[in-house]
């Protein structure tokens, strides 16, 4: 089973995290299931950017993002070339290493 590695984040995952990917669940849902309280303001329908993550390893092995996801991502704080909306990522097919951005468009996480 592929592994999801979350790099340490000051408030959401101070020690980082590592867990096995679960089929049928978005990356956002799996983060929540493992106690990482990532924001998901729109209810995981690609209509906000609060679930933004940066994929540090595995980006190229993920299915491509949709136009809808790309349009929303353009509004994300701290957008990078390997950014994704975690609610739109089904990570079961590959190992991933992700970083949680320090901020979201909703509010600062300091
Ligand atoms: Fe809103 Fe993912 S939760 S885009």
Q: How does pLDDT run across 76-94, given as a tens digit for each residue?
A: 989 999 999 999 998 667 8
Q: What is the pLDDT of residue 94?
A: 87
Domain CATH number, residue 74: 3.10.20.30
Report the 10 Å Cβ neighbour count for 64. 7
In a domain, 110, yes or no: no
> pLDDT averaged over the chain?
91
Question: Which among 51, 53, 66, 83 is the best mutation to test ligand 1's pocket, defined by most ligand atoms within 8 Å of the CB?
Answer: 51
In a domain, 106, yes or no: no
Among the atoms of ligand 1, which is closest to the Cα of residue 85? 2
In a domain, 44, yes or no: yes
Q: How many domains are contained in the chain?
A: 1
In a domain, 80, yes or no: yes
Region 53-75 average pLDDT: 95
Structural domain including 41 reads 3-99
In a domain, 41, yes or no: yes
Range in 1-5, 22-26, 42-46 the model is least confident about: 22-26
In a domain, 107, yes or no: no
Produce one character per residue of 43-54: b if its CB has 16 or more CB atoms within 10 Å, e if not: ebebebbbbbbb
In a domain, 10, yes or no: yes
| Pocket of ligand 1, beta carbon within 6 A | 28, 40-42, 44, 46-48, 50-51, 72, 85, 87
């Amino acid at each position: 089973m592929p592994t999801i590695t979350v790099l340490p984040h000051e408030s959401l995952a101070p020690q980082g995290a590592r867990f096995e990917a679960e089929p049928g669940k978005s990356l956002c849902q799996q983060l929540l299931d493992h106690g990482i309280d990532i924001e998901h303001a729109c209810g995981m329908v690609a209509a906000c950017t609060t679930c933004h993550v940066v994929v540090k390893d595995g980006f190229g092995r993920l299915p491509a993002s949709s136009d809808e996801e790309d349009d929303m991502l353009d509004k994300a704080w701290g957008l990078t070339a390997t950014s994704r909306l975690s609610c739109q990522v089904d990570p079961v097919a590959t190992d991933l290493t992700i970083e949680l951005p320090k901020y979201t468009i909703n509010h600062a996480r300091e």
